[in-house]
Amino acid sequence: MVAVTVLYAAIGTADAAALAWMIRLLIRQPKNPRLYALVGVLLCWVLSIPAALAANQGSPVFGVDSLTLRTVEHVLRLVAVYFLLLFITAGDSGQRMRNAARTQLAPLLVVVATLVSVTIVLPSPVRDAVSQVEGGSASAAMNPHSSIARIVYFGTENLFYIYVFVVIGRWAEKRRQLQMARNLRVGIGVVEIASAILVAATALLTAASVIAGVAQRQAPGLLVLGLVGMTVGLVLLVVGLAYPSVAAAHARWRVVRSQQRAIRELERLWSLIHEVLPEHELPAERGGLAGAFPLGRRTTRRYYRRVIECRDGLLRLGPYMGDGSAGTPDPSAVLVAIERYRSSTPDARSYSPRAVVLAEGPRTLADDAAELVELSRGLKSQRG
């Protein structure tokens, strides 16, 4: 019992931390329906843990008996799975989310009504026996009355779980046939495999419960297989849901790392230009950094500023480099232009918008950055 309490406490702490993060994201994106569904999943799961711990004690808490507490726990978990179904299958459209919520609400209400009805009608000895099935005292429920009640109670709940995982599996199968990015396809494929495993595992647990109720004996093999399958399936489900975001974050981090290297490489060129043209430094943005990775956003914006500042500075120095022909200037020509600009008087300084110093043709900021980095490296070597 102590081990179960420690496990539940660890799960509850992790869920609470994830819930706080999701609420933070929801505040920033209040019109994102999938975030509402995910907050519902985590909130219901977090609230179910105290009810589970109280039910495992086997004695009333504040006048509430253990079966009522167990029912509160299971209803919250059913609602959490309902929100999980909406999160996975409803998409980002608010209207689709509302339609899916109405469609999937009916089976949820049937199962909740069944659990509540069983909780109300069961007499006291049977109530205690059924409530302790998950508390490590399954043998206490081994009598005809409690066994039948247990089949109805847990079997109905498991049927809802099977239904949810079948719906998720069919959704994943259909989505996988569409054209999409590789990361999304891989993630949806893992979700499809996870849903199949969860359907099989839940069926095994249901069969173990029925055998225990009808044959009055335990089925440890089915129980172990079901629990192992449930664990593997849940892990795969989380992996499948998280994989596209994790893969995108990894790709984004690689871009940020390359931008950080470019910023360091541009330091020599930027510092030389900044000495004579300090007014070309763009103002740094402060605050208002949205998104889950503000550090990456700050790096990207700083990278953009540095490239634009160097490019505009060279454009300003173009008339002092000679003929102003297209192409990346020679490092020595840049040094000469800087000295000419520094020695000129403010009134004599000229600026020609036709002085193109980078290669002509269709270009991106990355193309400009690559040429500017090479120029900055040449300036470093000349300094050496």
pLDDT value at position 134?
55
| pLDDT tens digits for range 325-383 | 555 677 888 888 888 888 876 555 555 444 444 555 556 778 888 888 888 888 888 75
The C-alpha atoms of residue 112 and residue 302 are separated, in whole angstroms, by 54
The C-alpha atoms of residue 313 and residue 310 are separated, in whole angstroms, by 5
Give pTM, 2 decimals: 0.74
Residue 265: HSE in the Cβ half-sphere, 13 Å Cα cutoff: 18
Checking 134-139 for CB contacts under 8 A at 24+ apart, the result is 134/52, 134/55, 134/56, 134/70, 135/1, 135/55, 135/56, 135/57, 135/58, 135/66, 136/1, 136/4, 136/56, 137/58, 138/212, 138/218, 139/218
Domain 2-252 bears CATH identifier 1.20.1260: no
Question: Residue type for 171, please?
Answer: W
Q: Tell me how many helices (H) and strands (E) the chain has.
A: 12, 0
pLDDT at 109 over 90: yes
pLDDT value at position 197?
95
Residue 79: which of 108, 36, 38, 47 has the closest Cα?
108
pLDDT at 108 over 70: yes
* C-beta of residue 251 within 8 angstroms of C-beta of residue 201: no
| pLDDT tens digits for range 243-298 | 998 998 888 889 899 999 999 999 998 888 888 888 777 776 554 433 444 557 78
Residue 224 or residue 144, greater confidence: 224
CA dihedral (236, 241, 244, 246) in degrees, to 10, reads: -80
The C-alpha atoms of residue 167 and residue 161 are separated, in whole angstroms, by 10
Residue 333: which of 270, 263, 382 has the closest Cα?
382
Name residue 21's beta-bridge partners. Answer: none
pLDDT at 71 over 70: yes
Domain range annotation of the chain: 2-252, 266-383
